[in-house]
Amino acid sequence: MAPNTRWTNDQLVVALNIYHKLTFGQMHGRQKAVIEVSKRLGRTSGSLAMKLCNFASLDPALKLRGIKGLSGASALDRALWADFHEDLSEAVPASEAAFRKLFGVTQSHEIEVTSKNGVRISKVPAGPTEKSANVKVRRGQEYFRQAVLNNFDGQCGVTGLALRQLLIASHILPWGKHEKQRLNVRNGLCLSRLHDAAFDRGLISFDDNLELKLSSELKAALPQRTVAENFAAYEGETLQLPKDAVLPDGGFLSVHRKFVFRN
């Protein structure tokens, strides 16, 4: 396909899918995932990178960080952006399905975008066949995990742990109670399994400056070595995020501190 050929709606859906799985600084033609996806789309990596940067100009979360993107977003780009973010619960699984179709991934395999290794396809461990309704939920969860982990550069926001197998895409607002925010990247924190459990149970939280707060209950467990090394050592430190990452929503964190955190 010639680089100047107009983008189709299906191609834009895939581009928007990968957009939320990369930080702004990774949206360039040398990025592994951009190269692999562009080949499948029949476009140049530079063309895809430019489209991602066009989307960036429409992203209010990046504007909060002073990132403007490129100014070439088309009317179709703007319409797709609006439709996608109006109902993430429907748009995200559909975009994930389109992404899987592009790479010919079957139900027995998983596909993941990582900033360092590009697109990875792996076999799903043997288990019972999923019902169609559950497939939709799972596709959304897969998307959310990739987007959140990559937003944190694949590291725990508290400790910097970079073992992807031990990281969780934590929801700030609980999955079950806030359907519209389930797949919102700004509702996600990348935490180790230990810190995810502590956040979920209100033992830790983050203030308006994204600094780690410890609950009185957790402090009472000191001077246990595990508590001291995994929590007290990081108290007051700012959540670790790349400079071009999307920030967690401060309003969501305020709700967590008010209703979940055991101050």
Instruction: Pull the structure tokens for residue 201.
Output: 């149970």
pLDDT at 1 over 50: no
Sequence-distant (≥ 6) Cβ neighbours of residue 5 within 8 angstroms? 43
Instruction: Pull the structure tokens for residue 126.
Output: 């043997």
Residue that is written with structure tokens 């108290």 in the block: 235
CA 233 to chain centre: 27
Give me the percent of the chain exceeding a pLDDT of 90: 91
Residues 192 and 69 in one domain: no
Q: How many CB atoms lie under 10 A from the CB of residue 239?
A: 22
Phi, psi at residue 185, to the nearest 5°? Answer: -60, -30
CA terminus-to-terminus distance, the chain: 58
Residue that is written with structure tokens 């080949």 in the block: 39
Give me the number of domains the chain comprises: 2
Sequence-distant (≥ 6) Cβ neighbours of residue 35 within 8 angstroms? 29, 45, 118
**Is residue 144 in some structural domain?**
yes
Mean pLDDT in residue range 226-252: 98
pLDDT at 3 over 90: no
**Is residue 64 in some structural domain?**
yes
pLDDT at 69 over 90: yes
Phi, psi at residue 146, to the nearest 5°? Answer: -65, -45
**Is residue 145 in some structural domain?**
yes
Rounded CA-CA distance 119/3 in Å is 22
Helix axes 132-151, 88-102, angle to 10 degrees: 90
Q: What is the pLDDT of residue 5?
A: 85
pLDDT at 181 over 50: yes
Burial of 213 per CB tally in 10 Å (0-12, 13-18, 19+): middle
Residues 15 and 144 in one domain: yes
Rounded CA-CA distance 154/58 in Å is 25
Mean of per-residue pLDDT scores for the chain: 94
**Is residue 4 in some structural domain?**
no
Residues 42 and 128 in one domain: yes
Residues 144 and 47 in one domain: yes
Instruction: Pull the structure tokens for residue 164.
Output: 């992807």
Domain limit, last residue, from 97, 128, 151: 151
- Give the range of the structural domain holding residue 169, as residue numbers without chain letter: 164-259
The band of 16, judged by pLDDT with boundaries at 50, 70 and 90, is very high
Rounded CA-CA distance 40/44 in Å is 10
**Is residue 139 in some structural domain?**
yes
Mean pLDDT in residue range 98-103: 97
Rounded CA-CA distance 95/45 in Å is 20
CB 171 within 8 A of CB 187: yes
Instruction: Pull the structure tokens for residue 251.
Output: 């309003």
Task: Give residue-wise pLDDT tens across range 103-151.
Answer: 999 989 999 999 899 999 999 876 554 555 588 999 999 999 999 999 9
Residues 95 and 194 in one domain: no
